[in-house]
Amino acid sequence: MSKNLFNRINTILVTGGLGFIGSYYIKNILEKTNIKIINIDKDGYASNKEFINETIEKISLHKSNRYIHLATDLIDFEKINKIISESKPDMIVHFAAESHVDRSIDSPRIFLENNILGTFNLLEATRIFYGNLSNEDKTHFKFHHISTDEVYGSLGKNGTFNENTPYKPRSPYSATKASSDHLVNSWFHTYGIPIIISNCSNNFGPWQFPEKFIPVVILKALKKESIPIYGKGSNVRDWLFVEDHINALLKIESFGKIGEGYCIGGESEISNYKLVLKIFDIINQIKGENYDYSSLIEFVSDRPGHDFRYAIDSSKVKREIGWKLEYSLENGLIKTINWYINNIDWCNKIMKKSGYQGERIGKLN
């Protein structure tokens, strides 16, 4: 971790820190620095306190005030404004977002409110706070907005996304994330807020909420349940192990240029069908079995507006920031699958809490 930034920081305000990626970010900050974390997370259906609590216990922070969780919704501007004003963060890292495409098909208004209005409220509170900082403090302050490659739309068989790719979102989720990106950029150009934006490919790893594709496949395979695959499974995704993503974020915050965007990819393009077969092979290897998991596959009607392919060109973040991947798709999947095999109880508990039991969502009828 870079000392030239994080040694100057006393407090980071994180939004969505009980989510999958946000919780990994907080874990890294708590373990590797003495920085205080203020975590604004409304504690929604997919929120997970156990991962951070495990970290706090591991490094004996349970009696410290270095980590504070505030169960506040970004929709509430007055509370957000008060929290930022009182906590006086040196950096704001904005993970909070509704992020599941299928849920955005069912309930687009929730995505509009959280991803667009929530980001607007955060930016406005930041603008007020930043305007009251001394000139010296302004030079150290940053607002890092975490986004997705889905804002760029769908690729054909060739080409990759990069920082200059035009935005062409095709789902309610990606449209609201694209809107939040544009808001963040406009607060930089109009109000001078020192922002950085990063857009990542599909993340995976231990502790991911079980509605996401890889956990769904793993858990249904372990339970010998039918595994639904959209269309013919030909849609292609670029998979990024979550720990590689966090390493990129920390480097971007240390060395990234204000007002710039950075694309972070896993360089692991694979079709959904081939990914599922790879997961089956690894499960059999880990369990020492030879079960025909492919018999569980059920091809189902495709998702409405399903993007065909995503792929990211990460050359800018490698060249300018010095980031590199540490995990291959294979190694990341082995670590992830082992974790889910050993943590079925957590999966069952969080699914029960959320009311989600593995059913398909996002159908129009």
- Which among 20, 15, 26 is positioned nearest to 46, based on CA atoms? 20
CB neighbourhood size of 122 (10 A)? 27
Catalytic residue from among 25, 67, 173, 230: 173
Cβ pair 283, 217 in contact under 8 A: no
Task: Name the phi and psi angles at 337, rounded to 5.
Answer: -65, -40
Active site residue 262: no
Q: Which two tokens stand for residue 104?
A: 């955005």
The number of angstroms, rounded, from the C-alpha of 167 to the middle of its chain's C-alpha atoms is 19
Q: List, as own/partner pairs, every contact residues 106-113 make where C-beta atoms lie below 8 angstroms and the sequence separation is at least 24, other chains included.
A: 106/361, 106/362, 108/172, 108/176, 111/172, 111/173, 111/176, 112/172, 112/176, 113/75
Catalytic residue from among 41, 149, 253, 269: 149
Active site residue 291: no
Rg (CA), the chain: 20
Q: List, as own/partner pairs, every contact residues 232-235 make where C-beta atoms lie below 8 angstroms and the sequence separation is at least 24, other chains included.
A: 232/273, 232/299, 233/271, 233/272, 233/273, 233/274, 233/276, 233/297, 233/299, 234/271, 234/272, 234/273, 234/308, 235/271, 235/272, 235/306, 235/307, 235/308, 235/309
Looking at residue 220, the DSSP 8-state letter turns out to be: H
Active site residue 149: yes
In the chain, the amino acid numbered 207 is W
Cβ pair 150, 168 in contact under 8 A: no
- Residues serving a catalytic function are 149-150, 173
